[in-house]
Amino acid sequence: MVKALSFPMMAERQHPLIQPLLTWSDEALIKAFQEERDRGCYFVALYCRYAALVYCRYAALVYSVLQHHGRSPVQVDYLFAKVWHGLFFSLDRLEFTPEGVKIGDEEARSLRNWIVNRTATLIQEELPGIEHITYVLQDAPPPLWCYLEGSLAYLSPLSRLVLVTTQTFHWNLERLRAYLEVQGETYSLEELNQHLEEGLVRIAEYLPPDIRQIYLMPDLASEEPPTVQPTLEELFPNSVEEVGTHLESNPTDASIDNLLAEWERILSS
C-alpha cells in the first residue's frame, strides 16, 4: 500500500528574505553559504528548494523519501530534521566540479543526487522509539535547529550546563546547585538563575540576524527580540527521557565537562 504523503508547511518560503534567493543556482547558494557564515538565509533557501511543498521545483524531495521509511509521523519528522542537520554540517566541504559535486571521495552528479544519497544512508540507521523522540517539526524547523545548536556552542560551559539541565533534563536549580557542590563548584541559586536567564537571551542573540527575523520575529517590521524565548526541549531533537533517566540514576558519576560532552554527543549523533 502506498502511503499518502503529507508535506510540512514551510512559511520560510514566503519570507521576503528568501523569495529572491529561490532563483539562485545551487552553486551560488552554496558559495554564499560558505563565504557569508553570518547569514543563514542561503541555507534556508536550499532547505526550501529541496524540502518544500509540491509546487517547489524538486517536489519535497527529502520528505517524500523519508515518509516511505518512517513508521510514524513522529519518526518521519525526526529523520527529516536529522537529514538536514547532517547536510548543514557537510556543506562547508562541498565542491562543485564539471562532473557534479564532491566532498572528499564522495561524488554525485548534482546537489539533488547528493541529497538523495545522504538521505538513503541515514534511513538505514535504526530509529529511536517514538517515546524517546521529543522533536516537534513545527516548533523548530531544521534550519532554526542547526543555527540554535551553533548559538549554544558560544555560551560559557556553566551557562550551557544550566540551560541543558533545567530546560531539557528538567532539573530545578536547587538540584543543579547540589550537583555542582559535589563536583567542587559552589554557586548560589541567584547566580545559577542569572546564568539561566542570560543564557536564554544569549542563545537567541547569537543567531544570525536574518535567522532571528525569519523564525523568531512574527512582526517583520520589528527589530526587537522575541519576548518569549523557546526552551531547548522545544527546539532540539534528542532522547531526553532516556538520557535524563541515566543522569538521574547516577548524577555524581560525571564531571561538568562529561555532562556537557554527553549533550554534545546527543546533538551530533
Distance between CA atoms of residues 48 and 33, nearest Å: 14
What's the structural domain count of the chain?
Answer: 2
Of 39-53, 163-177, 187-201, 237-251, the range with the lowest mean pLDDT is 237-251
> Is the residue at 100 inside a domain?
yes
> Is the residue at 3 inside a domain?
no
> Is the residue at 4 inside a domain?
no
The residue among 134 and 223 whose pLDDT is bigger is 134
- pLDDT score of 36: 95
> Is the residue at 228 inside a domain?
yes
Instruction: Mark whether 119 and 186 lie in a shared domain.
Output: no
Boundary-marking domain end, from 131, 165, 197: 131
The range of the structural domain enclosing residue 80 comes to 11-131
Q: Among 58, 181, 75, 196, which residue's Cα sits nearest to residue 115?
A: 58
Can you read off the three cell numbers belonging to residue 216?
523568531
Instruction: Mark whether 95 and 186 lie in a shared domain.
Output: no
Question: How do strand 106-108 and strand 100-103 relate by DSSP bridges?
Answer: antiparallel
Confidence bin at 183 (pLDDT 50/70/90) = confident
Task: Dump pLDDT digits (tens) for 112-167.
Answer: 888 888 877 776 777 777 777 777 777 788 999 899 888 888 888 899 889 888 87
Boundary-marking domain end, from 131, 154, 181: 131
